[in-house]
Amino acid sequence: MSLRSDLLAWYDRMRRDLPWRRTRDPYAIWVSETMLQQTQVAAVLPYFERFLARFPTLADLAAAEEDAVLAAWSGLGYYRRVRHLQEGARRVMEGHGGTVPQDPAALRALPGVGPYTAGAIASIAFGREEAVLDGNVRRVLARWTADPGEGGDARFWQLARSLVAGPRPGDWNQALMELGATVCTPQAPACGRCPVPAHCRAHRSGSAADFPRARPRKPSRTVQVEVALIEREGAVLLERQGAGGPLRGKWDLPAVETGGMHALVGEAVRTALRERHGIDVLPGTLGRPASHTILNRRLRLAVVRCAWPQREPAPGSGLRWMAAGELDATPVSGATRKVLRANLVRATSSAGGRAL
């Protein structure tokens, strides 16, 4: 038996029944691949069907209000992905008559679609012989060839391209990814359950776990952030984030990077709110701190409870009140979510049970 037929036969028997595997709709596959970037399958599962129920077609997504799209994504994080997805849907409506292009170069021209996503859509939805290379595929190929991968990804891409040529290219790519996700795992590959051990150099030399060699991690950077927690009548004040906000949601608690420079508690966020919105808040006591990691930035979040502004934020000012109970439907960052959960549930459960 050949490598291809062995792996495909195994995939046919053993593959997990995932909702995006039951469709060839390129839009649905695009959604799933976007959700799966930097996110585990288990976390994506509840979102995928809900998102498609809310925006069943590419045209629905293109025409939707951005806030509704972000709310449907709320909790998955990395909101740039869904902004790109919606922008891509709009470009497909305008430039491709609403039909997702089959050509990988045209796919890669869409925002947020890199070589991996283009290869996945082209092969899975359109049956084209286009390769994919993600962490799972890279690891499997490194082990098959006993290549530590220190020379970069070019050789793995080349190998992936040569292997995808043949029948069922979409299933081939998914089988490779499935093998990496469920059997050929990073620390302890289950070679005893592998359908293709005879084709694996690393396994034959008894050194599977040595491949690929770990890449040196980018050193992470600690960022000091001051966050204002402003409550009024069971609601908290949120600020619409620009592209450069430190917390990176659509709406967040007002926050500012301090660089550790502000000696007075609350001074940094008070100044920031005055400069950004012309409102004056009164910093009070410290709340429970939190920390949150975004890629290689470790945020240390100092939480300052502040008295609410004297006047209502003007409509369109980029500030709004969020009532208790709205958190799940509001596209806030993971950092804001952590701060609210640490500070509001505890603070309110003893006072009558309001919980976010």
Helix/strand/coil for 144? helix
Which positions from 193 to 232 touch ligand SF4 by CB under 6 A, shown as an x/- string? -x-xx--x-xx----x------------------------
- The distance between the two most distant Cα atoms of the chain, rounded to a whole number of Å, is 76
Positions 112 through 171 that interact with ligand SF4 (CB under 6 A)? 140, 143
- Nearer Cβ to ligand SF4, position 85 or 164? 164
Compute the least distance from the CB of residue 13 to ligand SF4, in Å.
16
Compute the least distance from the CB of residue 174 to ligand SF4, in Å.
16
Q: Are 217 and 202 in contact (CB under 8 A)?
A: no
Other beta carbons less than 10 A from residue 291's beta carbon = 12
Other beta carbons less than 10 A from residue 165's beta carbon = 12
Across 190-205, b (16+ Cβ under 10 Å) vs e yields ebeebbbeebbebbee
Is residue 267 among the annotated active site residues? no
Q: Are 31 and 85 in contact (CB under 8 A)?
A: yes
- Nearer Cβ to ligand SF4, position 3 or 223? 3
Compute the least distance from the CB of residue 148 to ligand SF4, in Å.
14
Q: Compute how many residues bind ligand SF4; rule: CB under 6 A.
A: 13
- Nearer Cβ to ligand SF4, position 125 or 208? 208
- Nearer Cβ to ligand SF4, position 9 or 307? 9
Beta-sheet pairing, 297-307 with 221-232: parallel
Which positions from 232 to 251 touch ligand SF4 by CB under 6 A, shown as an x/- string? --------------------
- Nearer Cβ to ligand SF4, position 212 or 249? 212
Cis peptide before 212 (omega within 30 of 0): yes
The catalytic position among 33, 226, 231, 239 is 33
Which DSSP string do the residues of 6-38 spell out, in sequence order?
HHHHHHHHH----GGGG---HHHHHHHHHHHTT
Which positions from 160 to 199 touch ligand SF4 by CB under 6 A, shown as an x/- string? -----------------------xx----x-x--x-xx--
DSSP state, residue 109: T
Strand partners, 47: none
Compute the least distance from the CB of residue 273 to ligand SF4, in Å.
54
Residue 40's Cα: distance from chain center in Å? 9
- Nearer Cβ to ligand SF4, position 212 or 334? 212
- Joined together, the tokens standing for residue 33 give 């691949």
Counting beta carbons within 10 angstroms of the beta carbon of residue 28, is it exposed (0 to 12), middle (13 to 18) or buried (19 or more)? buried
Compute the least distance from the CB of residue 199 to ligand SF4, in Å.
8
- Nearer Cβ to ligand SF4, position 191 or 327? 191
- Joined together, the tokens standing for residue 304 give 């300052």
Compute the least distance from the CB of residue 140 to ligand SF4, in Å.
5
Is position 305 an interface residue for ligand SF4 (rule: CB under 6 A)? no
DSSP state, residue 332: B
Q: Give me the count of residues in the chain.
A: 356
Rounded CA separation 27/43 (Å): 20
Compute the least distance from the CB of residue 144 to ligand SF4, in Å.
6
Active site residues: 33
Write out the residues near ligand SF4 by the rule CB under 6 A.
Answer: 140, 143, 183-184, 189, 191, 194, 196-197, 200, 202-203, 208
